[in-house]
Amino acid sequence: MLKKIVLGAITLPFVMLYSCKQEITDTDVLQVKSSRPKSEALTSRYSYADVVVPVGFEEAAQMLMAEDPGLSSSMTTVPLTAGKTVQIASVTDAKAKLGRILFYDKKLSINSTVSCGSCHLQEKGFADGKALSAGFEGRLTTRNSMSIINPAMMHSGMFWDRRESSARALSLRPVVNHIEMGMEDLKLLEIKLAGTDYYAQLFADAYPEAPFITRDNISDAITAFLRSMVTWNSKFDQGMRSNFSNFTAEELRGKELFMGNAATNIDPFGNVISNGACGGCHSAPMFNDGGFSTGISAYSDNDTGNGKGVNIGLDKVSKDKGTGDGSFKIPSLRNVELTAPYMHDGRFSTLEQVVDHYNEKIQPAANLHRRLREFDGKPKRFNFSDADKKALVAFLKTLTDRQFVSDPRYSNPFEN
């Protein structure tokens, strides 16, 4: 009895200190069952840094050469030539190799149960198939896990509310996030990784000048891996090289509904502009907010002028405020066939439901984007026929890059 009271008196302050945070102690964090990457991942000599610019990416690929492009939508340099090899800035093969292992290593979470790869699965275009994802304690994230699409060319901000400017700015956020990975003390992470038998060499190879397991190098390697992820070999991309002779009649119809008829839509400066139902916001080649060929971003012509996100009328009044008023980042639609469920809250489980939303269910939200309104300001009704809706879905499926989602360079190097 006495023993119990004494013990209680000693542990109580600690319990009080930690109870609002976690019951996991530092010792628990450091003593983890050691899982090792497959030897393939440790010995591989994959090439990550050098890429060949495909047709259609002449402008967007300039972003690859910028160290940390952040939120800049206007590129002032001269477009690249398709077929040219460029080196992705901040990426070396050794850094990306290390970054791949870090991305999939559950040791980056406080109780070694969750890795970045737990919520970003390669075969699902790096989304996870769930409306909300479970973090290290099984608690759910507040938003739908996003697919990872060409982060090095993402000039419109990261996360559904665009709160981080770049892959680099984002790289450690999920690690310290209290729902996702819970590793709030990055010093502990450094010690934990130093306790493995494989990281010392990987860090030495990646950072010969400063071969240390530091949070900066961890962040830099994850950034390098993210920036090395380029997806630009979908059926659509192949079509760019062959005037879409590889498309079926239905896919061509879907493309026209989506993007408009590019041949007849040239602005006074000679730029191709979209008069389709979707391409003004999801514009090629990234299928996110555009801004490459036109220099005009859909964010800047939002009715309310908030310039931050876009409200597509999912609800009359939004529960999640997003960038402030129910507006969200325009997500890239590359690999969208694989990234269900859809929208920031994962409310739609199929592409057909998404198309139905745009066709007939747009709500009169106060700041509904101007492109989704009729002239009188009411929510737009596209009145697609059933065949049109099918064609739109068929077109969306041409954005799937099978090579990217089976590329061993981005695959999970751990057994589990």
Instruction: Establish if 230 lies at the interface with ligand HEC (CB under 6 A).
Output: no
Site for ligand HEC in 327-366 (CB under 6 A): 328, 330-331, 333, 336, 339, 342-344, 351, 354-355, 358
Residue 110 lies near ligand HEC (rule: CB under 6 A): no
CA distances from 408 to 41, 48, 108, 413 (A): 10, 11, 22, 9
Residues 327, 367 contacting (CB under 8 angstroms): yes
CB of 116 within 8 A of CB of 104?
yes
Quote the CA–CA distance of 117 and 411 in Å, as a whole number.
Answer: 9
Binding flag, residue 100, ligand HEC (CB under 6 A): no
**The binder of ligand HEC chosen from 145, 165, 323, 335 (CB under 6 A):** 145
DSSP collapsed to 3 states, 218-251: HHHHHHHHHHHCCCCCCHHHHHHCCCCCCCCHHH
- Using CB under 6 A, which residues numbered 181 to 210 contact ligand HEC? 181
Helix intervals (H) in 20-80: 26-30, 39-43
Q: Which residue has the tokens 């694989």?
A: 338
Q: How many residues bind ligand HEC (CB under 6 A)?
A: 53
Q: Does 114 bind ligand HEC (CB under 6 A)?
A: yes
Distance CA 280, CA 370 (A): 11
| Dist CA 262 CA 256 (whole Å) | 8
Q: Which two tokens stand for residue 286?
A: 């990234």
Tokens of 379: 């929510």
Burial class (CB in 10 A: 0-12, 13-18, 19+), 73: middle
Nearer to ligand HEC (CB atom), residue 92 or residue 223? 223
Q: Determine which helix (DSSP H) or strand (DSSP E) holds 405, and give its type and residue range.
A: helix 402-406
**Of 196, 230, 286, 252, residue with least CA distance to 91:** 230
Contact pick of 64, 183, 286, 312 for ligand HEC (by CB under 6 A): 312
Do 359 and 381 meet the contact criterion of CB atoms below 8 Å apart? Answer: yes
How far, in Å, CA of 6 to CA of 93, rounded?
A: 56
Other beta carbons less than 10 A from residue 67's beta carbon: 10
- Residue nearer to ligand HEC on the CB measure, 49 or 333: 333
Q: Which is nearer to ligand HEC, 90 or 141 (CB)?
A: 141
Q: Confirm or reject binding of residue 280 to ligand HEC (CB under 6 A).
A: yes
Between CA 25 and CA 90 the distance in angstroms is: 35
Binding mask 28-67 for ligand HEC (x = CB under 6 A): ----------------------------------------
Candidate residues 37, 69, 151, 291; the one interacting with ligand HEC per rule CB under 6 A: 151
369 lies in the site for ligand HEC, by CB under 6 A: yes
Region from 30-38, 159-167, 213-221, 403-411 binding ligand HEC, contact rule CB under 6 A: 159-167
- Whichever of 38 and 130 has its CB closer to ligand HEC, that residue is 130
Residues 121-140 contacting ligand HEC, CB under 6 A: 133, 135
Q: Does 165 bind ligand HEC (CB under 6 A)?
A: no
Q: Which is nearer to ligand HEC, 82 or 244 (CB)?
A: 244
d(CA 136, CA 192): 17
Residue with Cβ nearer ligand HEC (36 or 370): 370
Q: Which of residues 9-28 bind ligand HEC (CB under 6 A)?
A: none
According to the binding rule CB under 6 A, does residue 96 interact with ligand HEC?
no
Residue with tokens 């008196």: 9
List interacting residues with ligand HEC (CB under 6 A): 103, 114, 116, 118-120, 133, 135, 141, 143, 145-146, 148, 151, 154, 158-161, 170-171, 174-175, 180-181, 222, 226, 277-278, 280-282, 298, 310, 312, 314, 328, 330-331, 333, 336, 339, 342-344, 351, 354-355, 358, 369, 371-372, 392
